[in-house]
Amino acid sequence: MRYTPKRLWQLYQTPTGGKMMRYTAVSVISTAVSFTVLSIVFGALRLWSEVPDVFVANVVAGLCSYNLNRRWVWGRTGRSHLVKEVIPFWAMSLTGMAWSLLAAAEAHHLAIAHHLHHLVRTVLVLGANVGAWGSLWVIKFLVFNRVFGGKAKRAVPELVNLG
């Protein structure tokens, strides 16, 4: 099925479709933040090694992601609820960070074993970070939608049949 601008607009107009698209936009923004921070602290400044730099980049991106998701995707305002919002978000985020740190550690070992140039190591670490987070993206949306958004009025299978 082709997603034309008209179909995407129709999808956006549904409760779950709108959340999915805003969540996707937040993911793109968070990825850009993580990429930028990681490129600076690992690529340019060479502050530490792959693993601590990936951790710092993901914490900064996680803070942005939490605020954007909470306000823009799930429409929450006011003080965050520790048990219902903060802990579930950071539990999932820390799971993603652990997965990302494992990927960064593997990139580090691969770079050492093959004597890779720093630029190649940087690209490898950036790719490992994005790959790790990308593999958890759908799971995170489903969990966060349950935690923050409650039940949507329409199910996802209905969204596919827009034409």
- What's the CA gap between 30 and 66, in Å, rounded? 10
Say whether pLDDT at 138 is over 90.
no
pLDDT, position 33: 94
Number of domains in the chain: 1
Instruction: Answer for the pair 104, 129: CB distance below 8 angstroms, yes or no.
Output: yes
For residues 9 and 103, the model is more confident at 103
**DSSP per-residue letters across 61-80:** HHHHHHHHIIIIIS---SSP
The pTM assigned to this predicted structure is: 0.67
Reported as a single tens digit per residue, the pLDDT across 50-94 is 788 988 998 999 999 999 988 888 888 889 888 888 888 888 888
pLDDT in tens, 7-65: 777 777 887 778 888 888 998 899 899 889 989 998 888 878 778 898 899 899 999 99
pLDDT, residue 4, reads 78
> CA 90, 70, 96: angle at the middle one, nearest 5?
30
**Residue 114 burial (CB < 10 Å; 0-12/13-18/19+)?**
exposed
Is residue 104 very low, low, confident or very high in pLDDT (cuts 50, 70, 90)? confident
**Which region, left, alpha or beta, applies to residue 46 given φ > 0 means left and ψ of -120 to 50 means alpha?**
left
User: What is the model's pLDDT at position 54?
Assistant: 86
Say which DSSP state 49 is in: -
Per the listing, tokens 């107009």 go with 13
Domain assignment of residue 154, given as a range: 5-160
Q: CA 18 → CA 143, 152, 161, distances in Å? A: 16, 11, 15
Q: Which whole number is the average pLDDT over 139-150?
A: 68
